[in-house]
Amino acid sequence: MKVIHLGESNSILNRFVAELRDVDIQKDRLRFRRNVERIGEIMAYEMSKTFSYTARNIKSPLGTARMYTPDEQIVISTILRAGLPYHQGFLSYLDDAENAFVSAYRKYKDRLNFDIHIEYIASPSLTNKLLVITDPMLATGSSMEMAYKALQTKGEPVRIHLASIIASRQAVEYIREVMPEGRTTLWLAAVDDDLDDHSYIVPGLGDAGDLAYGEKED
């Protein structure tokens, strides 16, 4: 599996990630959501460089221009709810893509241990398409894995792009083991070293869903 860590090189992307982490700036939910969205836009642009392209003759008012445009059939999927602004960032650039949504949540067996449950899936056929799964935080990798397995019920994509903003090193290694080799690419903006006892990324940024949309009642 190929891993592309965009945060390793200096760009404006790192400023947006820094603002997501900042305990003072992240209190502004509108700004938090917009930063998540902007990171999605940047990642969609970088990802588009790996697509296949076809030459087309485009007629302008003054002549004909030979242009290369992407010809992938793309499905953008997200894991609810934290993934919604991230998904929108991708959709702003990949505006003719189809869309899929998966509801995945942690069901705790006790204070520290949990299973991942899938409650809902809405997706077009994925057969022979390029699948993009967006999830801002890749803590253990289990939600991403379960989302992919749920989406497989809608067909087998030809290629898979996984996109997260912050991942733990443990999750990166886990995803390497469980996702299809040779046709999976993992895109990241930052990689953190640790998980706490509740499997939250450290230093991370906290609960992305709560920061984007407000705290939920347990």
Contacts of 140 (CB under 8 A, 6+ apart): 168, 170, 171, 174, 195, 199
Does the pLDDT at position 112 exceed 60?
no
pTM of this prediction? 0.92
Domain boundaries, the chain: 2-51+70-199
Helix spans in the chain (H): 12-21, 29-48, 84-93, 142-151, 169-178, 208-213
Mind listing the pLDDT tens digit for each residue in 126-184? Answer: 999 999 999 999 999 988 998 999 999 999 999 999 999 999 999 999 999 999 999 99
Does the pLDDT at position 114 exceed 60?
no
Does the pLDDT at position 83 exceed 70?
yes
Mind listing the pLDDT tens digit for each residue in 17-71? Answer: 999 999 999 999 999 999 999 999 999 999 999 999 999 999 999 999 999 999 9
Residue predicted with more confidence, 46 or 104: 46
Helix spans in 112-166 (H): 142-151
pLDDT band, very low/low/confident/very high, at 108 (cuts 50, 70, 90):
low
* 191 neighbors 169 (Cβ within 8 angstroms): yes
Protein fold of 2-51+70-199 = Rossmann fold (3.40.50)
Q: According to the model, what pLDDT value does residue 198 have? A: 83
